């Protein structure tokens, strides 16, 4: 068995691990990413590609602000990543809609967004006029003339955007390698042994030692966390997506469950299912997605679906991100969340510099694992 | 490039390609009829605009898209030629109206 060394090892080469690793190498850190092989569960290759703000952070204003900050710095993050990687990300930032087919649902949604706004009002950078608007069906027709009679209205947030997330994933890998990072596939980590000021990481292809370590292994973070004294409650949550044939551009804005990619295909998303590690596709679920899309845009009924897939989200117990450093084993960090596209800019530009300095500052305080250290209700 | 085997015959089917009246024979797929009529490129791709024509002829490659009677992105190899069909070669992405 080989043995290897790096200053910092990132375990997991998905969007979260690669954004963090890219941020670290860009700041001059010697980084190796240990990843599994092709058969790994990877939310990063099956997601919906939204950089999405509306609705984020109900119950935790720092998460709303964190997400807003990410959307705000995304363009600058994208420009730099495009320069380094030579890959165009197709970031499009016209603001996003969530369209309702039901009066009650629209009312509940607007009330939920209002509660989020009320909790954030007065925080630095939060818009005094509020973050969103509610738009009725008539006004919505100005943006989308093709909407059908079932549509009752929508909510809109100007910070919502979308990107080509597969190209984002590719760009992060290319940039990381160009800047001198080492990417080691087929290195599924079996165990981590904390030693004296270093960690021994045993993988299926030999061991690696590092003085600092970042857990970004998606749904395996729970298992790995225990080895370094971190409690990381994450679970898989399945999402299914439909993709249509490519069409001339007709959707100028992303809609939370519907977006047209830069190449013309329409993505129709996305289910939320608690089914463990099952990556199956279910016709019943897919037909609900298709039915909703046709409810919004009746002219989609003749469009051909050419692909469908499912992927497992990395869902934390309360839905908010987890960033923390082990108290028992300093130098061991965890970085995990369920919106890895949205938060890629934060992971590269804000979290990575903190990890380089070996200190997560107060900005991450609300996202520590401390919040799980409360006795469960009987 | 393509021509019919000498022993193939059948009822004549009248249809049009890009508005031009043409004939095939009953039992032809749209793709076969277009190939016999001398069309190799049925469409240009949605992304780069490169020419494409039937490749697999069995429904897998999706390279033989044409517009048939007003509906775009139809797989020509999987649709049987019918009398009076209007077939249009396709250029770039499907327009959602069609
Ligand atoms: C259907 C769906 C839609 C989504 N839509 C959006 C969206 O619109 N916007 C958004 O922001 N987010 C979205 N997400 C979420 C987003 O995709 C994830 O947050 C993100 O991809 C998570 O990245 P990750 O790197 O944490 O995990 P993953 O992509 O799951 O990657 C984990 C990586 O860790 C590796 N790994 C695991 N265990 C080990 C081990 N023991 N040793 C070494 N390596 C290991 C795996 O090989 C894998 O490469 C969506 C997700 C799904 C499923």
Parallel/antiparallel/unpaired status of strands A3-11 and A31-34: parallel
DSSP string, A297-365: -GGGGGPPEEEEEEEEEEEETTSS-EEEE-SSSTTEEEEE-S-TTTTHHHIIIIIHHHHHTT---GGGG
The helix-helix angle for A165-178 and A15-26 (nearest 10°) equals 30
Q: For B90, phi and psi rounded to 5 degrees?
A: -115, 145
Tokens of A316: 């934390």
Range A23-46 average pLDDT: 96
For the segment A171-223, what is each residue's pLDDT rounded down to a tens digit?
A: 999 999 999 999 999 999 999 999 988 999 999 999 999 999 999 999 999 99
CB A38 within 8 A of CB A145: no
pLDDT of residue A268: 98
Number of H helices, E strands in chain B: 1, 8
How far apart are the CA of A255 and the nearest CA of chain B, in angstroms?
Answer: 18
Q: Is the CB of A66 under 6 A from ligand 1?
A: no
Domain ranges of chain A: 2-49+166-233+318-373, 96-157, 235-316
Looking at residue A117, what is its pLDDT?
98
Q: How confident is the model at residue B47 (pLDDT cuts 50, 70, 90)?
A: confident
Residue B59 at interface with chain A, using a CB cutoff of 8 Å: no
Q: What is the ipTM of this complex?
A: 0.74
Task: Supply the pTM of this predicted model.
Answer: 0.92
pLDDT in tens, A323-365: 999 999 999 999 999 999 999 999 999 999 999 999 999 999 9
Q: What is the pLDDT of residues B52-82, one digit of tens each?
A: 999 999 999 999 999 999 989 999 999 999 9
DSSP A264: S
Q: How many CA atoms lie within 13 A of A315 on its CB side?
A: 17
**Confidence at B97, pLDDT banded by 50, 70, 90:** low
Q: How many CB atoms sit inside 10 A of residue A82's CB?
A: 17
Give mean pLDDT, residues A34-59: 96
Supply A36's token pair. 């599994």
User: Would you say residue B31 has pLDDT above 60?
Assistant: yes
Domain boundaries, chain B: 12-89
Summarised one tens digit per residue, pLDDT across range A266-310 is 999 999 999 999 999 999 999 999 999 999 999 999 898 989 999
> Residue A374: its pLDDT value, please?
75
Residues of A with CB under 8 A from a CB of B: 146, 245-250, 263-264, 299-300, 302-304, 306
pLDDT average, residue stretch A237-265: 95
**A257 φ/ψ sector (left φ>0, alpha ψ -120 to 50, else beta):** alpha
Residues A120-133: tens digit of each pLDDT: 999 999 999 999 99
**Residue A1 clears pLDDT 60, i.e. is over it:** no
Can you tell me the distance from the alpha carbon of B2 to that of B25, in angstroms, rounded to the nearest whole number? 15
A236 CA distance to ligand 1 centroid (A)? 10
Specify the CATH number of the domain A235-316: 3.30.9.10
Q: What local confidence, expressed as pLDDT, does residue B8 receive?
A: 85
pLDDT digits (tens, 9 = 90+) for A63-116: 999 999 999 999 999 999 999 999 999 999 999 999 999 999 999 999 999 999
Q: What CATH number was assigned to the domain covering residues B12-89? A: 3.10.20.440
* Contact at CB, A306 and B62, closer than 8 angstroms: yes
Considering CB atoms only, which of B47, B62, B93 is closest to A247? B93
The confidence score (pLDDT) of residue A214 equals 98
Q: What is the distance in A from the centroid of ligand 1 to the CA of A12?
A: 9
Q: For residue A306, which residues of chain B lie inside 8 Å, CB to CB?
A: 62
CATH of segment(s) A2-49+166-233+318-373:
3.50.50.60
Place of tokens 């108290």: A327
Task: Report residue A256 as tokens.
Answer: 């939370």
């Amino acid at each position: 068995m080989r043995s290897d060394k790096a200053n910092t090892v990132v375990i997991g080469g998905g969007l979260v691990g690669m954004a963090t690793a890219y941020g670290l190498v860009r700041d001059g850190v010697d980084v190796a990413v240990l990843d599994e092989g092709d058969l790994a569960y990877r939310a990063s290759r099956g997601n919906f590609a939204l950089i999405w703000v509306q609705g984020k952070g109900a119950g935790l204003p720092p998460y709303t602000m964190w997400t807003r900050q990410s959307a705000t710095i995304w363009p600058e993050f994208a420009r730099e990543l495009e320069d380094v990687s030579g890959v165009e990300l197709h970031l499009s930032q016209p603001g996003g809609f969530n369209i309702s087919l039901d009066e009650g649902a629209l009312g509940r949604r607007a009330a939920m967004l209002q509660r989020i706004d009320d909790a954030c009002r007065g925080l630095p950078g939060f818009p005094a006029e509020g973050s969103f608007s509610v738009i009725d069906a008539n006004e919505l027709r100005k943006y989308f003339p093709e909407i059908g009679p079932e549509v009752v209205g929508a909510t809109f947030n100007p910070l919502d955007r979308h990107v080509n997330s597969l190209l984002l994933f590719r760009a992060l890998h290319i940039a990381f390698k160009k800047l001198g990072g080492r990417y080691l596939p087929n290195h599924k980590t079996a165990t981590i042994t904390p030693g004296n000021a270093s960690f021994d990481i045993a993988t299926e292809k030999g061991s690696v030692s590092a003085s600092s370590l970042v857990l970004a292994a998606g749904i395996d973070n729970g298992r790995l966390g225990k080895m370094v004294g971190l409690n990381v409650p994450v679970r898989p949550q399945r999402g299914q997506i439909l993709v249509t044939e490519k069409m001339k551009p007709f959707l100028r804005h992303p809609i939370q469950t519907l977006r047209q990619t830069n190449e013309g295909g329409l993505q129709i998303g996305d289910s939320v299912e608690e089914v463990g590690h099952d990556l199956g596709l279910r016709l019943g679920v897919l037909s609900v997605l298709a039915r909703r899309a046709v409810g919004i845009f009746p002219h989609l009924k003749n469009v051909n679906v050419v692909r469908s897939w499912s992927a497992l989200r990395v869902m934390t117990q309360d839905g908010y991100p987890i960033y923390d450093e082990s108290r028992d084993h300093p130098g061991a960090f965890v970085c995990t969340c369920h919106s890895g596209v949205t938060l890629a800019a934060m992971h590269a530009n804000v979290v990575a510099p903190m990890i380089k300095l070996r200190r997560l500052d107060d900005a991450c305080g609300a996202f520590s694992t401390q919040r799980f250290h409360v006795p469960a209700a009987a | 490039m393509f021509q019919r085997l000498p022993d193939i015959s059948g009822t004549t089917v009248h249809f049009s390609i890009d508005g031009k009246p043409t004939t095939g024979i009953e039992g032809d797929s749209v793709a076969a009829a277009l190939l016999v009529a001398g069309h190799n490129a049925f469409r240009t791709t949605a992304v780069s605009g490169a020419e494409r024509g039937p490749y697999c002829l069995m429904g897998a490659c999706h390279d033989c898209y044409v517009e048939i009677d007003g509906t775009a992105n139809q797989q020509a190899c999987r649709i049987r030629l019918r009398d009076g069909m209007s077939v249009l070669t396709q250029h770039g992405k499907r327009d959602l109206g069609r």
